[in-house]
Amino acid sequence: MQGVKVDLYDAMPSVGRKFLVAGRGGLNLTHGEPMETFRTRYRGPEMPEDCWVDWLTDFSPQEIRNWASGLGIETFQASSGRVYPKEMKAAPLLRRWVDRLRGLQVRFHMLHRLCKIEHDPLLRLHFKKNAGKDSAENMLDLFYVDSPDAVILALGGASWPITGSNGAWTSLLDHLGVNVPPLVAANCGWELDWPADLLDKIEGLPLKNCRASADGEYASGELMITRYGLEGGIIYTLGAALRRMQEPVIEIDLKPSAEIPELLRKMESVKRNLIAESRTRWRLSEQAHALLAWQAEMRGIEDPAHLAELVKHFPLSLRGPRPIAEAISSAGGIAWRDLTKSLSLQGAPAIFFAGEMIDWEAPTGGYLIQGCFATGRRAARSAMDYLRQKGLY
C-alpha cells in the first residue's frame, strides 16, 4: 500500500517556537491526576459532552510520556502531579521529534504563511512565502497547494504572537462561513489599581495557601501581587469566570484555615487596635495583613465580626485581563458547532483542526499541551480514515 506524503507548512523560520517557550518553565507536558478529574479540566462553549474522554483515551497522559520516552526523553511526575522531562527542557525533545518526522519523509516548508483557503469546488491553499521576513510583496512570494487530499490546520491561539501563532488565521476562515468566537487571553494575569502606598509594601509578594472565588467558581493556591495587579495559579484558574462578569471581582479568603467563630474567639479579649491585633492573633502574612488593613481602614471597620467577615471574603475589583500577547494561552477559536466529532469542518470533510485554535481552554498544569496532542492525534486519525474511505490510502 502506498504511504501518505506529508507536507508541513509554518509561517516561522522553524517549528515549535511556543513549545520551546513552554520549555522555559520546564515543559509541563501533562498531569498525573486520575482521568475522572483530568477530563473536567477542559471547557468551551457548546463543547460536546465527553469528547475529551474519547480523545484523552486515544492519546492519554501516559502516552505522551511513552512518546517522549520513545524519543529518548524520560519524564517524571512532580509532587504536584505535573509531568516534566527529567531535563526540564523542550529543545532536546523538539529536536528529536523533528528528526523523527524528517526520517519519516515529512517535508518541512518554513516561512510559508497560509493566507487563504479555497474549498469549493477544489481545495486550494494559498501561502505567502518568506512572510516571516520583511519581504517585498511580489508574485514570487505567492505559492499555492492545489487539491491536497486532506489538510490539518493547527495554527495555534493568539498568545505570544512572537512565536508565530498570532491568531491572524481567524480572517481566513470567515469567508468559509466558520464561526470563530474571538480569541481572548486565558491563563493570564489580571489588572487592578493598587494604591501607591500599599503597593510599596506588597509588590512582588505572594499570597500563599489562599482560596478565592469568582462568579461561583473556586480555586486554591497562590496569588502573586504585581505592580499591575495579580498573577498566579488562582487567577489563571478563575479567568473564565472573571471574563463572564460584567464587573469582575475576585473574592479572596485570606485565612482559609480558620472559620469565623474561631477567628472571633481569638479576638475576644481585644479592646483596642483591632486591625493591628489581627496580624498576630490570626497569624496573617505581612501582605495579607496589609491588604486587610487597607480595606478595613477604608471601610471604617471597628468590630471583630466585620473584620472577620472581611478577611474571609476579601473583594478585589479587577480592571481586566493582561494583554493577550502575554497570556499563556487563549480561549475562543473555531466554534464546536462547525466541527464534526472527527474534528473536520462541517461541510468540508477534508479539512481538520487541532490544538489551541479550537474553542476550548484548560488551566496550566500540562493540560494545554496534552489537549493539543490529543486533538492532534484525533485529527490525524480522522484524516487517515477519510483518505482510506476515498481510496487514497
Ligand X SMILES: Cc1cc2nc3c(=O)[nH]c(=O)nc-3n(C[C@H](O)[C@H](O)[C@H](O)COP(=O)(O)OP(=O)(O)OC[C@H]3O[C@@H](n4cnc5c(N)ncnc54)[C@H](O)[C@@H]3O)c2cc1C
355 contributes a contact to ligand X by CB under 6 A: yes
The span of 94-102, 271-279, 313-321, 353-361 binding ligand X (CB under 6 A) equals: 353-361
- Please, what is the end-to-end C-alpha distance for the chain in angstroms? 7
374 contributes a contact to ligand X by CB under 6 A: no
CB of 390 within 8 A of CB of 199? no
CB of 167 within 8 A of CB of 18? no
151 contributes a contact to ligand X by CB under 6 A: no
**Nearest in space to 372 (alpha carbons), one of 99, 101, 19, 23:** 19
Q: How far is the CB of 292 from ligand X (least distance, A)?
A: 33
Q: How many CB atoms lie within 10 A of CB 317?
A: 10
Question: Among 51, 311, 372, 374, which residue sits at the site for ligand X (rule: CB under 6 A)?
Answer: 372
Q: How many CB atoms lie within 10 A of CB 60?
A: 18
CB of 332 within 8 A of CB of 359? yes
For residues 250 and 334, which CB has a smaller minimum distance to ligand X in the complex? 334
Q: How far is the CB of 193 from ligand X (least distance, A)?
A: 26
How many whole angstroms separate alpha carbon 84 and alpha carbon 97?
Answer: 16
159 contributes a contact to ligand X by CB under 6 A: yes
Q: Kindly state the cell numbers that stand for 353.
A: 483542526
For residues 155 and 207, which CB has a smaller minimum distance to ligand X in the complex? 155
368 contributes a contact to ligand X by CB under 6 A: yes
33 contributes a contact to ligand X by CB under 6 A: no
165 contributes a contact to ligand X by CB under 6 A: yes
379 contributes a contact to ligand X by CB under 6 A: no
Question: Among 4, 6, 19, 342, which residue sits at the site for ligand X (rule: CB under 6 A)?
Answer: 19
10 contributes a contact to ligand X by CB under 6 A: yes
Question: Among 9, 42, 55, 386, which residue sits at the site for ligand X (rule: CB under 6 A)?
Answer: 9
CB of 131 within 8 A of CB of 31? no
For residues 132 and 349, which CB has a smaller minimum distance to ligand X in the complex? 132
The span of 153-161, 176-184, 301-309, 345-353 binding ligand X (CB under 6 A) equals: 153-161
CB of 331 within 8 A of CB of 359? yes
Letters for 214-243 (x = contact with ligand X by CB under 6 A, - = none) are ------------------------------
Q: How far is the CB of 363 from ligand X (least distance, A)?
A: 10
How many whole angstroms separate alpha carbon 275 and alpha carbon 256?
Answer: 18
Q: How far is the CB of 286 from ligand X (least distance, A)?
A: 30
Q: How far is the CB of 377 from ligand X (least distance, A)?
A: 12
How many whole angstroms separate alpha carbon 233 and alpha carbon 189?
Answer: 9
Looking up cell 502531579 gives: 81
Q: Kindly state the cell numbers that stand for 42.
A: 477542559
Site size toward ligand X, by CB under 6 A: 33
Q: How far is the CB of 189 from ligand X (least distance, A)?
A: 12
Q: What are phi and psi of 178, to 5 degrees?
A: -85, 135
- Residues 72-89: b if buried by 16+ CB within 10 A, e if exposed: ebebebeeebbbbbeeeb
292 contributes a contact to ligand X by CB under 6 A: no
**β-sheet with 142-146: strand ranges across:** 112-118, 124-129, 142-146
**Can you give the binding site for ligand X, defined by CB under 6 A?**
9-12, 15, 17-19, 21-22, 25, 27-28, 113-114, 154-156, 159-160, 163-165, 169, 328-329, 355-357, 366, 368-369, 372
